[in-house]
Amino acid sequence: MIEVLQKLCSLPGPSGCEDAVRDYIRALAEPVADEIREDSIGNLMVFRKGKKSCGKTIMLAAHMDEVGIICKGYTEDGCVKFGFVGGVDPRVVIGRRVLFDDVRGVVGIKAVHLTTREERKTMPKTKDLYIDIGASDKKEAEKRVPLGTYGVFDSACVPFGDGLLKAKAIDDRVGCAVLLTLLLEQPAVDTWFVFSVQEEVGLRGARCAAFDLNPDICLVLEGTTAADLAEVDGAKQVCGLRRGVVIPFMDRATIYHQGMFETLRKLAEENGIPWQTKHRVAGGTDAGRIHLTRDGVVTGALAAPVRYIHSPSCVAAIDDMNGMLALSRRFLEYMGEDHHEI
């Protein structure tokens, strides 16, 4: 799974432009899929018959898109003015490399010796930033990066330290990697695997996919904010690396189904899978749209803790991500048991 994740993280896929990620996933899924749907917004929905049917429509979901940038204009000397696609803290991008298709650039800001004392006390705004692509003038910049061109962080995916992985877009390529692994090994029960689009700009693709499939039960797989740093106390850490897969009971978009939360917790404890929950109500997932579909969907979630989320250098623990895979697999097995209850 980690090898698949590393490949997925290397692909560009900002919200609304997930083509490269979708093409890679579809190429792996097609040889084993029993049905594939691709809707007009770009969701990829893959059905694979499991070892048995549980009589319910089961959906596992993860989003393909990542935060990114989009070209909005130019300076007279040939730099690109841009906006963020999804939620990005401007502080994390200054001096970072970005990639518009095959055009590389660096995010710049006014030199510190030209700033006022008051400017140095405030967080930079996006309008104060630019991207240097090496163009000689505005005309050359317009030719190389047309208006509306999407870009992503230009960041390598590398293991480091004590079992950690650094990459862009771990949110939510880790969920996609888990789905692909379960799909390729054949799930325990008939399952729809949904790779959604435009989560980072409003959970948009998930709404369409859930309405199409009308699932009875859905498990959303995500990456979630971890702020487990020395100067951050208590609940403000939200969750932490190496403490296990996150089973959330609530976030800003969803109150998760109590039966799903308890089932996932019980399965983790019975199978020796380390788990934690979020100690602060923060963030949101595609569940925010899925659980409201039609007559309502029984929805739960699993997440991998990710430091520096929505940045060029997201950091996650390999053990936590493998734990998410193990608990997802065990959940599907549980759904195939004769006396399962949620």
The region of weakest confidence among 28-32, 34-38, 110-114, 122-126 is: 110-114
Q: Is residue 87 domain-resident?
A: yes
Average pLDDT of the chain, as a whole number: 95
Annotated binding site: 63, 171, 200, 222, 310
Whether residue 58 is found in the same domain as residue 133: no
* Burial category of 191 from C-beta neighbours within 10 Å (exposed 0-12, middle 13-18, buried 19 and up): buried
Q: What letter does residue 7 receive in the DSSP assignment?
A: H
Whether residue 179 is found in the same domain as residue 311: yes
**37 confidence band (pLDDT: 50, 70, 90):** very high
pLDDT in tens, 71-94: 999 999 999 999 999 999 999 999
What is the pLDDT, as a whole number, of residue 277? 95
CATH code of residue 14: 3.40.630.10
Q: Is 57 left (phi over 0), alpha (psi -120 to 50) or beta?
A: beta
Whether residue 48 is found in the same domain as residue 95: no
Question: How far is residue 304's CA from residue 241's CA, in Å, rounded to a whole number?
Answer: 8
Whether residue 140 is found in the same domain as residue 72: yes
Give the residue-averaged pLDDT of 314-322.
Answer: 98
| Residue entry with tokens 């998760």 | 256
Q: Which of 123, 107, 179, 121 is nearest to 324 (CA)?
A: 179
- Residue with the bigger pLDDT between 340 and 52: it is 52
| Partners of 104 in the β-ladder | 99
Q: Is residue 11 domain-resident?
A: yes
Q: Is residue 112 domain-resident?
A: yes
pLDDT in tens, 139-195: 999 999 999 999 999 999 999 999 999 999 999 999 999 999 999 999 999 999 999
SS3 320: helix
Q: Is residue 82 domain-resident?
A: yes
Q: Is residue 163 domain-resident?
A: no
Annotated binding site for Zn(2+): 63, 171, 200, 222, 310
Whether residue 268 is found in the same domain as residue 213: yes
What is the pLDDT, as a whole number, of residue 248? 96
Out of 199, 231, 269, 337, which one is annotated catalytic?
Answer: 199
Whether residue 215 is found in the same domain as residue 315: yes
Q: Is residue 256 domain-resident?
A: yes
pLDDT in tens, 62-72: 999 999 999 99
Final residue belonging to a domain, choices 153, 185, 216? 153
Q: What are the two backbone dihedrals, phi and then psi, of residue 165, each rounded to the nearest 5 degrees?
A: -130, 130
What is the pLDDT, as a whole number, of residue 114? 67
Final residue belonging to a domain, choices 96, 125, 153? 153
| Residue 302 to residues 49, 147, 191, Cα–Cα distance (Å) | 23, 38, 17
Whether residue 209 is found in the same domain as residue 83: no
Peptide bond preceding 172 in cis form (omega within 30 of 0): yes
Which domain range does residue 115 map to? Answer: 68-153
What is the number of structural domains in the chain? Answer: 2
CATH code of residue 109: 2.40.30.40
Q: Is residue 280 domain-resident?
A: yes
Whether residue 78 is found in the same domain as residue 91: yes
Whether residue 301 is found in the same domain as residue 194: yes
Whether residue 132 is found in the same domain as residue 178: no
Whether residue 61 is found in the same domain as residue 206: yes
Whether residue 46 is found in the same domain as residue 83: no
Catalytic-residue membership of 3: no
